[in-house]
A and B are shown apart, each in its own frame.
Chain A
Amino acid sequence: MKSRSSAIVMVLYLLFLMIPIYWLVNMSLKTNAEITGTFSLFPNNLTFRNYQVILTDPSWYMGYVNSIIYVVMNTVISITVALPAAYAFSRYSFIGDKHLFFWLLSNRMAPPAVFALPFFQLYSSIGLFDTHIAVALAHCLFNVPLAVWILEGFMRGVPKEIDETAYIDGYSFPRFFVKIFMPLIASGIGVAAFFCFMFSWVELLLSRTLTSVNAKPIAATMTRTVSASGMDWGVLAAAGVLTILPGALVIWFVRNYIAKGFALGRV
């Protein structure tokens, strides 16, 4: 009896969580007339026109392409930079290492709006405005510290003696790092990459400020859908569904390590 009532609570809670997502999917499969005219739990006239619009109109699908380009760029840069930094923090002690490490995390806490203005002015003046690399670099501001923190936690779990054994065996540092060390923290790299990907993917303010046409991300496209004929609700909903998909796909690969990632690698 008890287990049944707790199951009911659980199901209700899951339904509650799923309602907005369901409603989004529901809307994306309806016509605009149905969305605005009636209340229906299921699409009465099932249509894929909304998806068709997005996948055929460059002003829509280029938004995804742009987003993916700078998100991937950012993830690659963040992980490449964070790997050696995290290794240094986990293996060596140097003057001010603890303060520096904490300062890195505090970067994560600054609101992006603070940095939007300096980035905009800086990138405009050096000709990086409206490029993918501009957004990728701007996102490094909060993704590199995060990646360093996550990777450091995973690296700390690898005993220092493994490094030394490898040197004694004759491994040079780069070879040890790539052949022995990186496989040992592969899950950490995966989690860090996932977090970089997600935070870069969902970030709106900086990416919208630093782009206009050529590198305009999907999130910005979605906020500019009011046309002369009014709001195109269906297309907007379809865009939302497609925006959730990459995250849902990536999360599948790191599902076993995600909790450790949220704990910044510390168990």
Chain B
Amino acid sequence: MVLELQSVSRMVEGRVHIHPTSLTLQNGTMNVLLGPTLSGKTSLMRLMAGLDAPTTGRILWHGEDVTGRRVQDRGVAMVYQQFINYPGLSVYENIASPLRILGRPKDEVDRKVRETAEMLHLTPMLARKPLELSGGQQQRCALARALVKGAGLVLLDEPLANLDYKLREELRVEIPRIFEASGAIFVYATTEPEEALLLGGNTATLWEGRVTQFGPTPRVYRQPVDATTARVFSDPPMNFTSALKQGARLAFGQDVTAPAEGNFAVADGAYMAGFRANHLSLHRPATSALDLRCKVIVTEITGAQSFVHVSHGEDRWIALVEGVQVLEPGQEVSLWLEPRHIYLFDAEGRLAAPASYAEAA
């Protein structure tokens, strides 16, 4: 089973929601759509589900064109960010409803409902109404309804975004397990890079209605094809500074130079250097590390880690460092960065040289 989008696009009232996009989702894969709000995750998902018709392009399912087919006949399932259940029906009837529509025999409906409820820990709540449940249970009920009919394509649109931290952790662990049991194509939209990494599988990064990169999640994370992907797939966002390669030296930031060897052996010219917040360190990690003189703007302390917002000349960076760091605003600090953690992007934002640590992995 394969879902194939062939240069699918969508325009609404003259505005482009989705630029022509081609994607192939293989059977039994977990696919994460990662992008900030309004990047087109939901729009793309609605096209996959058949809730919206694409302006151009075709959608193939098993090689069969389903572009114009009604959503009822698509055999898809979808879970929304809001907890959507039928308020008038009990949890049992909610889960049973897709099967009843299909006209399955009573005992089969009963067996499947109980199986699915068991998997999602809903068995004690079957007789209750959805609105009498907690948020996490309501969302599990919606998940159960999506899974019970054994749809080949299961779309999850930020299913955990409206849940509190604890429940989110809990369901986040369960979703890969549920996915493996189902054998369907899962598409999971999220704004959080961390969630994409936890779920694994493949990731498509979205930015302003465009899929910037699609591939196995670790590879997209380690080897972003352009600066936009790197920015999207990085939390806090990737730090950037301008860089200049001249002869044997690579100069970047404010008077920082590194020998232009290894990955930095690129053509002479202007580049953008990018590095992740967690690769900046307050202690010198290795002799080759570069010393970046920065001024502290503000420090956010979360407990195990501290986010240090700094300025380096014109650039604003965020450093994610271990432990509680008490740094006064305006204070000068040295942040250390190993050259192997630096990505170089060319003037158009395409990756010119991957960070060498990422290639090794």
Decide yes or no whether A57 CB sits under 8 A from chain B: no
**A223 CB-CB contact with B under 8 Å:** no
B223 within 8 Å of A by Cβ? Answer: no
A248 to chain B, nearest CB (A): 29
Q: Which A residues are CB-close (under 8 A) to B97?
A: 169, 171
Report how far A175 CA is from B309 CA in the complex, Å.
56
B51 touches A169 (CB 8 A): no
List B residues 67-83 near A (Cβ within 8 Å): 70-72, 74, 76-78, 80, 82
Indicate with 1 or 0, residue by residue over B101-114, a CB within 8 angstroms of chain A CB atoms: 11000000000000
Give the nearest-CB partner of A170 in chain B. Answer: B101
Q: Are B72 and A170 in contact (CB under 8 A)?
A: yes
- Given A159-B82, A164-B51, A165-B78, A170 and B87 touching (CB < 8 A)? no
Is B88 located at the chain interface by the 8 A CB criterion? yes
Q: Chain B residue with minimal CB distance to A173?
A: B72
A164 touching B98 in the complex, CB below 8 Å, given contacts A169-B145, A180-B86: no
Q: Is B333 an interface residue (CB 8 A)?
A: no
Residue of A nearest to B97 (CB): A169
Choose among B72, B82, B98, B149 the residue that contacts A161 (Cβ–Cβ < 8 A): B82
B91 at the interface (CB under 8 A from A): no
Q: How far is the CB of A159 from chain B (nearest CB, A)?
A: 6
- Judge if B38 is at the interface, Cβ distance under 8 Å: no
- How does the 8 Å CB contact mask read for A168-199 relative to B, with 1 for contact and 0 for none? 11111001000010011000000000000000
**Interface 1/0 per residue, B27-58 and A, CB below 8 Å:** 00000000000000000000001010000000
Categorize the interface residue count of chain B. 20 to 34
B76 close to A162 (CB less than 8 A): no
Give chain A nearest CB distance to B195 CB in angstroms.
21
- CB atoms of A180 and B84 under 8 A apart: no
B88 touches A167 (CB 8 A): no
Cα separation A183 to B70 with both chains bound (whole Å): 25
| Chain A positions 213 through 224: 1 when the CB is less than 8 Å from some CB of chain B, otherwise 0 | 000000000000
* Residue in A159, A169, A183 whose CB lies within 8 Å of B98: A169
Q: How far is the CB of A176 from chain B (nearest CB, A)?
A: 10
Within 8 Å by CB of A165, from B70, B74, B84, lies B84
Pick from B70, B84, B88: contact of A184, CB below 8 A.
B88
Residues from chain A with Cβ under 8 Å of B74 in the complex: 168
* Contact status B88-A183, CB under 8 Å: yes
Pick the contact of A164: B78, B86, B88, B102 (CB < 8 A).
B78
Q: Is the CB of A170 within 8 A of B84?
A: no
Contact indicator B77/A168 (Cβ below 8 Å):
yes
Q: What bracket does the count of chain A residues touching chain B fall in?
A: 10 to 19
Across the interface, which residues of B come within 8 angstroms of A172, CB to CB?
72
Look across to chain B and name the residue whose beta carbon is closest to the beta carbon of A186. Answer: B88
- Alpha-carbon distance A162/B84, docked complex (angstroms): 6
Which residues of A have CB within 8 Å of B88?
A: 180, 183-184
Taking a contact as CB atoms under 8 Å apart, the answer to whether B87 and A168 are in contact is no
Q: Which residues of B contact A171 (CB under 8 A)?
A: 72, 97, 101
Q: Are B87 and A184 in contact (CB under 8 A)?
A: yes
Shortest Cβ distance from B348 into chain A, in angstroms? 39
Q: In the complex, how many angstroms separate the beta carbon of B104 from the nearest chain A beta carbon?
A: 11
B15 to chain A, nearest CB (A): 15
In the bound assembly, the distance between CA atoms of A150 and B88 in angstroms comes to 21
B71 touches A161 (CB 8 A): no
The smallest C-beta distance from B356 to any residue of chain A, in angstroms, reads 46
The answer for the CA separation of A184 and B74 in the assembled complex, in Å, is 26
Distance in Å: Cβ of A95 to nearest Cβ of chain B: 12
Q: Which residues of A contact B80 (CB under 8 A)?
A: 161, 165
If A183-B88, A184-B87, A184-B88 touch, whether A168 touches B49 (CB-CB below 8 Å) is yes
Tell me, rounded to whole Å, the shortest Cβ–Cβ distance linking A161 to chain B.
5
Instruction: Report the nearest B residue to A172, measured CB to CB.
Output: B72
Q: Please tell me if the beta carbons of A162 and B51 are within 8 angstroms of each other in the complex.
A: no
Q: Which residues of A contact B78 (CB under 8 A)?
A: 164-165, 168
Closest Cβ of chain A: how far from B288's Cβ, in Å? 54
Contact partners of B77 in chain A: CB under 8 A: 168
Q: Find the A residue at minimum CB distance from B103.
A: A170
A residues in contact with B49, CB < 8 Å:
168
Q: Mark A153-168, 1 if CB is under 8 A from B, else 0.
A: 0000001011011111
A170 near B102: Cβ-Cβ < 8 Å? yes
Q: Which residues of B are found within 8 Å of A180, using beta-carbon distances? A: 86, 88
Instruction: Identify 20 new A-B residue pairs, CB closer than 8 A, beyond the known A161-B84, A165-B78, A168-B74.
Output: A161-B80, A161-B82, A162-B84, A164-B78, A165-B84, A165-B145, A166-B86, A168-B51, A168-B71, A168-B78, A169-B101, A169-B145, A170-B72, A170-B102, A170-B149, A171-B97, A172-B72, A180-B86, A180-B88, A183-B88
Give 16 A-B contacts (CB < 8 Å), ordered by A residue: A159-B82, A161-B80, A162-B84, A164-B51, A164-B71, A165-B80, A165-B84, A165-B142, A167-B51, A168-B49, A168-B51, A169-B101, A169-B145, A171-B72, A180-B88, A183-B88
Q: Which residues of B contact A (CB under 8 A)?
A: 49, 51, 70-72, 74, 76-78, 80, 82, 84, 86-88, 97-98, 101-102, 142, 145, 149
Task: Report, nearest first, the 6 A-B pairs whose CB atoms are least far apart.
Answer: A170-B101, A169-B98, A183-B88, A161-B84, A167-B71, A161-B80
